[in-house]
Structure 1
Amino acid sequence: MKKEKKEYAQHEKDYIEIYQDQGYNSNFYFEDDKLINSETKKEYTPEDIQIVAEHRYEGMSDPSDMSILYVIETNKGEKGTFLMAYGPNADSEGTEFFNNVPESNISDEENINLKNT
């Protein structure tokens, strides 16, 4: 089947809600170069996660206000999202972590804008 690009949402929170409805309910934070599930406290290195979709945003009133939403699946079966700034306002620890995710662990297979119609 041919994939067709769709635009489901305009804001990060809209995408987060859509992905939560699809089971991506875990929330993550960074500490000591690890991505940590805020509920289970399981820790992940870049090799432990799959990025199955990502969405980039520019601020409506300030284009330099940029963020990226990562949709993540872990090697322990946890699924969730992580929202962070990128560009001039990026957190260096988060940027380095996601830059170190192996390319083979990155896809758009769950990207809601590219799902089969």
Structure 2
Amino acid sequence: MAILQKTHYASLTDAIEELRKEGYEHDFNQHGEYLECKKLEKKFNPENFTIVQTHRFEGMSSTGDNSVLYAIEADDGTKGMLVDAYGVYADSLSPEMIEKFRVQYK
């Protein structure tokens, strides 16, 4: 279960820029059973990656602007990010993926 860290970034853009500097250079896409890195043409099952940071961002004008940024490390050393609007994809995820992305609030 991922632990949501207190957001210390002014914006989602700032967080992405800082994480890229820390080596989280790839973009992940969430699918029902796995994460995909299209650039590397790789797929990662839930047991093959770890969510190392999570940051929540709330939109100023609408709850539809809410999102979570995940910093992810795969067991092969691939580091990247996934931006997820709250719960948008939950209906299409496997139980293993839902559990992996479940966020525990501090």
Name the TM tier (shorter chain).
0.7 to 0.9
Q: CA deviation at 1:14?
A: 0.9
Residue matched to 1:101? 100
1:91 pairs with 69, 89, 92, which one? 89
Q: Aligned-residue CA RMSD in angstroms?
A: 2.7
Q: Deviations over 1:12-32 (max 9, x none)?
A: 111010000111001111345
Distance in 2 (alpha carbons) for counterparts of 1:23 and 1:47 = 21
Residue matched to 2:77? 77
**Which structure would you say has the larger Rg?**
1
Alpha carbons of structure 1 residues 97 and 38: separation in structure 2 relative to 1, 3 Å: farther
Distance in 1 (alpha carbons) for counterparts of 2:7 and 2:65 = 24
Residue matched to 2:21? 21
Distance in 2 (alpha carbons) for counterparts of 1:45 and 1:80 = 15
Q: Give the number of aligned pairs.
A: 97
Answering whether residue 36 of structure 2 is matched by residue 36 of structure 1, we say yes
Larger relative strand fraction: 2
Q: Deviations over 1:9-61 (max 9, x none)?
A: 22111101000011100111134522111211111111111111000111111
Q: CA deviation at 1:65?
A: 2.6
Q: Deviations over 1:58-103 (max 9, x none)?
A: 111113431100000001110011001004xx22235956433299
Alpha carbons of structure 1 residues 68 and 97: separation in structure 2 relative to 1, 3 Å: farther
Tell me which stretches of 4 or more aligned residues in structure 1 moved more than 3 Å: 93-98
The two structures have a TM-score, normalised by structure 2, of: 0.76
Amino acid at match of 2:89: D
The two structures have a TM-score, normalised by structure 1, of: 0.70
Structure 2 unmatched ranges of 5 or more: 1-5
Distance in 2 (alpha carbons) for counterparts of 1:30 and 1:6 = 22
Q: Could you say what secondary structure the match of 1:100 adopts?
A: helix
Q: Is the 1:84–1:94 Cα contact (8 Å) retained in structure 2?
A: no
